Amino acid sequence: MINQLYTFTVGTYVVADEWNSNFKALANSNADCVQAIADAEVSVAFPDEDLDSVFSAVRNKQNSWGITGDTVDVSAGQEYYGAKNWLVIGSFSLQPSELSKVCFVFAGASTMDRIMQKRNIVMFIAYSVLMNDAQNAWEKAKNENNFDTFAPYLEKIVEFNRKFAGYYDANKAPYDALLNEYEEGMAMETLDVFFAQLRSAIVPLIAKIKSVPQIEDGFLFKHYPVEIQRKFSDYLMEVLGIDRAHCTIGETEHPYTTNFNKNDVRITTHYYKDDLTNSMYSVIHESGHATYELNCGDEYQYTCLSGGVSMGIHESQSRFFENIIGRSEAFCELIFPKVCELFPEQMQGKTAHDFYLAVNKSEPSLIRIQADELTYALHIMVRYEIEKALIKGEIKVSDLPRVWAEKMKEYLGVDVPDDARGCLQDSHWGSGSIGYFPTYALGSAYGAQFLRKMKESVDVDGCIAKGDFAPINS
């Protein structure tokens, strides 16, 4: 059955190459095929969830999708041959604990598409298993502050990605080929200039900021009960106009957004009881991703054109929400009454302007997702330079903690005390996403350009102040 799915999926993507020129006709003729792949992907990705309760709102929507009935019949938790928790999809069955890691990436991941086009099913299975194991190893290594336990997995990931680069485009430098997978047309030649410009402007500015009196932000790091922060997250999503019937929020070690179509989008966050803004801005950031997905055109669902134009554009939406909207004075004034309602003791004696100043304080820090708007790009530059050197073979995986610490000291002036707050802080490399990081900085640059153009016809601050985001999102 795996071979049948393998051929079936490859055939679909071969056809999909022609969709740009004759999209509607091919979409109609291949709708059942694409729908079946998407349904299988959803089923295998979340085998242990209560599918009826999770997807009921989505299934009831007109023209929405379903994972039972006319598409694929699904049942979970069956017992066969003495083994439990088998998943049955249509006419075949599998045990998710062993094979979900293989099937999870069958329809969605670009990496898998290219491997399948090469007909290398052995590499496909090996890489799928590695991704599952590497994510577990990364989380364990981060929690235990021990890079050495994750290093063997990362060495294999780097080696796989070097091979993939040749599959993507043998005429490109390997890291250029990987960059192109996340931002088409992007290359080291462009990014080297881009980051050099940022470095020349930002590093001296950071030094200048350090020399003046600092903004008081200690009240943001008092005790903030997690259960109340959850209510705050719900409020933020409501204010930003997120359709909760089609977008849920969960909790993970590292925040992210995932979706299976425009009617089923999921974001996550991570709460810290002594830090209000960490989760606050991760929720706003992921809500930007969610807004993009929730508003994609219906005609692109279940096709090769779904999922956003590029990761740089996707990150432009999340960074736009997080910084341009979320750190604006208009937004701080809008939400401050609710902040005071939920956290009256922590906000005692503070004003909306105090809150605005505090959330915009610029100070070099260790953690990327906690970085302020000014220093954030330097965090990305550190990762870009390390990825480039890894793929070129200029440094070894075992060098990573040392090189990371050196670059953080050089660019941000901070000392890295341990691996957990150093090279283990992000989940990306553990999921094989080498070449992804630059899209965050590109997204910030795109967002700034969007804002400049938007202001020609939209009163952006006025809309934010009223909590009316429709003109901004349209």
Contact 265, 293 (CB under 8 A): yes
Token pair, residue 101, equals 């890691």
How many other C-beta atoms are found inside a 10 Å radius of the C-beta of residue 422? 19
Residues 6+ apart with CB under 8 A from 471: 458, 459, 463
Expressed in angstroms, the distance from the first to the final Cα of the chain is 44
Q: Which of 183, 286, 322, 385 is catalytic?
A: 286
Edge to edge, the sheet with strand 264-269 lists 247-251, 264-269, 257-261
Which residues are registered as beta bridge partners of 5? none
Task: Give the residue from 289, 281, 450 showing the smallest Cα distance to 368.
Answer: 281
Distance CA 470, CA 473 (A): 5
Residues 6+ apart with CB under 8 A from 109: none
Based on the residue annotation, tell me whether 456 is a catalytic residue of this protein: no
Task: Give the residue from 287, 382, 226, 306 showing the smallest Cα distance to 19.
Answer: 306
Distance CA 235, CA 248 (A): 13
Contact 241, 473 (CB under 8 A): yes
Give me the active site residues, please. Answer: 286
